[in-house]
Each structure stands twice: as C-alpha cells, then as structure tokens.
C-alpha cells in the first residue's frame, strides 16, 4: 500500500499562504484518486481536496477558491497550495489515496501529517 510523507506546514497569520507537499513511497501514476485530508483537534478527519489521474479535481466547500491541489506523477508528489488562510483551516493535514466508496474512518496507513496553524 502506498504511503505518503507530508511536509510544508507551519504557523501563518490569517490571510497568509502555505504550500504543502506529500511524497509517495512508490509511483503514483496508477493511483486513480489522491486527496488531501485534514483533522482539527476534537473533530473527525475530513476531505479537503481530491485529484484523479486525469486531472479532475474536487474541493470541499470551505476551501473552494482558496486552495489548489495538483499532482506531479513524475515526482510522485502531490501539492496543496493554500491561500487566504483562515483560523478554521488550523489542522493536521494528510495525504492519502482517495477511495470514494470507503468511509474515511476505514482508511489505514496514514502518514504523520503536517501541522498547519493559522493565528494572529
């Protein structure tokens, strides 16, 4: 099973930007959907953005227009460009293969994630 290593998080002020990266343990060229997820303290993990191998993209409603997901198969890397960050974006962000018919709670092999904190 593919595993991802996430990086790029940090502390940023509201309105700021960050670019997250996740590098896969093997080639991602044949992985249909890959997504970024996030989990804030005391909440369930939620889907932020997903991208398939043809470049089709979906965003969660709260990040649409502010976040951009991209995948670079040659680098086995997926990015999440985040702009106009809000305190509500504070969470640990994870990368994972996205299985639309499987509850997120049933996913395994999560990486360590990368912490994003948005605060004045």
How confident is the model over 41-59, as a mean pLDDT?
96
Task: Provide the 8-state DSSP code for 15.
Answer: T
Looking at residue 61, its pLDDT comes to 83
How confident is the model over 22-30, as a mean pLDDT?
95
What are the structure tokens assigned to 27, written together?
């080639």
**Calculated CA dihedral for residues 66, 91, 118, 64, nearest 10 degrees:** 10
Sequential DSSP letters for 22-81: EEESS--TT-SEEEEEEE-TTS--EEEEEEETT--EEE-TTTTTTEEEEEEGGGTEEEEE
Residue 59, beta-bridge partner list: 49
Looking at residue 1, its pLDDT comes to 84
pLDDT in tens, 57-74: 999 889 999 999 999 999
């Amino acid at each position: 099973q593919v595993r991802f290593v996430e990086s790029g998080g940090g502390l940023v002020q509201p309105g700021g930007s960050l670019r997250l990266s996740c590098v896969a343990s093997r080639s991602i060229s044949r992985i249909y959907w890959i997504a970024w997820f996030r989990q804030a303290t005391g909440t369930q993990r939620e889907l932020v953005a997903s991208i398939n191998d043809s470049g089709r993209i979906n965003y969660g409603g709260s990040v649409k227009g502010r976040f951009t997901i991209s995948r670079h198969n040659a680098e086995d890397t997926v990015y999440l460009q985040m702009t106009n960050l809000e305190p509500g974006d504070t969470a640990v962000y994870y990368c994972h293969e996205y299985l639309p018919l499987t509850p997120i709670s049933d996913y395994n092999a999560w990486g360590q994630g990368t912490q994003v904190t948005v605060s004045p």
